[in-house]
Amino acid sequence: NSVKLFGKPIRVNKASQDKKTLEVGANLFIGGLDPDVDEKMLYDTFSAFGTITETPKVMRDPDTGNSKGYGFVSFDSFEASDLAIECMHNQYLCNK
């Protein structure tokens, strides 16, 4: 039951900013990302769990443009975000 697209497990948790927003939906923190993971790969992977409300964001170094190894995906419902956490936590995306 493992999604191996490059080698080390990723972390998927609710982002802490969820507690401050009043919107319905859920913003997930995706940690431990391989440097090759981009926004399209996050979208393609996580859209299987529900409607994504904003383009997924991979956080990057402003000087080099290199990935910082984490990003965010926003769903329109907590059910979709909970399913994504359940299915993707400790899974592999690229080599990580």
Q: Which helix (H) or strand (E) holds 32?
A: none
CA distance 88 to 96: 12
Taken in order 90, 53, 25, 22, the sign of the CA dihedral is positive
pLDDT tens track for 51-62: 999 999 999 999
Give 26's pLDDT tier (boundaries 50, 70, 90).
confident
Q: Which helix (H) or strand (E) holds 10?
A: none
Above 80 in pLDDT, residue 3? no
pLDDT tens track for 38-85: 999 999 999 999 999 999 999 999 999 999 999 999 999 989 999 999
